[in-house]
Amino acid sequence: MEDFEKQMAYLKENNYNVISLKQLYEIVSSGRPIPPKTVVITVDDGYRTTMKAFKVLRKYHFPFTVFLYMEAIGRYPDFLTYEDIKKLKSSGLVDFENHLFSHPDLAYFRAKLSEKEYLDLLKKEVKLSEDKFLRLFGRKPIFLAFPYGSYDRLSVDFLKKRGYKLLLTQDRGSYKGGLLVPRMAVVGSQSSFEKFVKDLKVEPLPVTSSIPGYGAVKKRQFEVYFKLDNPAGYTGCSIYASGLGWVKAEKKGKFVYSQKPVKAIKPKTRLGIRCFDRETGRIAEYFYLTIVLLLLTDK
């Protein structure tokens, strides 16, 4: 809490533009550029400790969005009660959105189940969570944060057709528009004030395509390529894979690629690229998630 108070004071004292997630969506859906130094604050799950965060955020009059683990709300002792939600809602600072019903790790089920079984599970999670959400708030949610940051093309396509406007991940990076929204974690070992300030300076890296793309892949070893919109504007690029860390990258034309194939050691492997912007001198990043289908069955 001491670090959190310090972080929010830093945003206020340094004139950051703290807006709600709904305001961010209105900006990007209208085609307008996101203003400089814009920050959106989100809280996942809906633990009762959200009330501690609320005291700090209310002090600075910062809006924020809470993504609710719907099965737990008003039911499990460590989670927000209906009275808590009423108090948060009446403040005018808090929006509530969906975090699915039973908080499933979709990457685990995507690797384990057939496509039909996986989609059946996803449909059940969405229906149960939306039904309870409708009873609580009288509307359907329009934003969703993936539990554990796990997503793939099947879940993204399904939720888009379901009417969701923004889908929030746990991929690092700054947001510049689009359905998938990266977020900087401010939690646990990643919650220090120093890291917070450093992450605020990260720019979005203009990646136009990647190999492999996000979601399911059928091999545990693969080449990693990122195509940049303006490769000449960036230098010192490195590529990241979960469990393997950072490796130096090669650049050829518009492509930045790993010197050696990446071998996934877990079903859920997050891939990323980090470069330095030649003009600003700042770090620019782009991350996404892959799910290796074979890892739970191959020997």
Q: What is the pLDDT of residue 298?
A: 45
Give the alpha-carbon dihedral of 85, 87, 90, 96, to 10 degrees: -20
For the segment 175-221, what is each residue's pLDDT rounded down to a tens digit?
999 999 999 999 988 999 999 999 999 999 999 999 999 999 998 89
For the segment 259-276, what is each residue's pLDDT rounded down to a tens digit?
888 888 888 999 999 999
Domains along the sequence of the chain with CATH: 2-200 (3.20.20.370), 203-292 (2.60.40.1220)
Give me the long-range contacts of 232-237 (CB less than 8 A, separation at least 24): 232/278, 233/277, 233/278, 233/279, 234/205, 234/275, 234/276, 234/277, 234/278, 234/284, 235/275, 235/276, 235/278, 236/275, 236/276, 237/273, 237/274, 237/275
Token output for 299: 């020997």
For the segment 53-78, what is each residue's pLDDT rounded down to a tens digit?
999 999 999 999 999 999 999 999 99
- Predicted TM-score of the model (pTM): 0.96
